[in-house]
Amino acid sequence: MGKSYSFFLAGVGGQGTILASNVLAEAALAAGFDVKKSEVHGMAQRGGSVNTHVRWDAKRVNSPLIGRGEADILLAFEEAEALRYAEYLKPGGAAVVNQHIIEPITVTSGGARYPTEAELQAVYGALTARLHIVPGTAIAADLGAARAANVVLIGALSTFLDVPAETWLEVIEARVPPKYRELNRQAFLRGRQAVNGPES
């Protein structure tokens, strides 16, 4: 990727998708990019689909909106959300998917069904050669706070960008209370390691 980047973030309400998009935008500004973002919320604050479009450019971003086939990186906080928005990823783009399932009310009430593992794998297989399925929620839970999965996933995403790890960490630490800074630091680093290995 060059000096312009388009990110499509997709998750479920309550997963920290919006916070992650804010970190992504602030890291861009810290790295000297122009940035714009747009948010789309589902019907429910928790449990509804939430997606965010974020664009960086070394010159100027005219609009944050990302069309189908335009995203350089798809960051999915839940597996069915990756399936739902896979068409937004451009050919040759990168996808980071949280290995985590949240069944919506329509599924738990019997009104719909969750995609089968075979259906998910079929989409993953066709999605991109640069697919990373990251156990973000499990990693965060291992650190003592499953809600930090969004920071794990930001760590994974950061490996695709020429922005120093310390820049990301400064942005993250500025957004969390002091007592949670070390937890979030570890979550970010574990996310990087999930993609690049233990030396990352």
pTM of the model: 0.89
Residue 184 lies in a domain: yes
Q: 144: helix, coil or strand?
A: coil
Q: What is the pLDDT of residue 121?
A: 84
Closest by Cα among 71, 7, 68, 67 to 33: 7
Q: Quickly state the pLDDT bin for 16 (edges 50, 70, 90).
A: confident
Q: Which of 40-44, 101-105, 184-188 has the lowest mean pLDDT?
A: 40-44
Q: Does the pLDDT value for residue 128 go beyond 70?
A: no
Residue 143 lies in a domain: yes
- 8-state DSSP, 165: H
Q: 49: helix, coil or strand?
A: strand
Q: Quickly state the pLDDT bin for 40 (edges 50, 70, 90).
A: confident
For residues 118-149, one letter each, b for 16 or more C-beta atoms within 10 angstroms of the residue's C-beta and e for the rest, the string is eebeebbeebbeebbbbbbbebbeebeeebbb
Q: Given strand 34-41, what is the order of strands in its sheet?
A: 34-41, 49-57, 4-12, 71-76, 89-98, 130-134
Residue 200 lies in a domain: no
The stretch 158-182 carries a mean pLDDT of 95
Q: Does the pLDDT value for residue 46 go beyond 70?
A: no
Q: What is the domain count for the chain? A: 1
Q: By residue range, what is the domain housing residue 58?
A: 4-195
* Kind and range of the H or E run holding 71: strand 71-76
Residue 157 lies in a domain: yes
What CATH number does the domain containing 83 carry?
Answer: 3.40.920.10
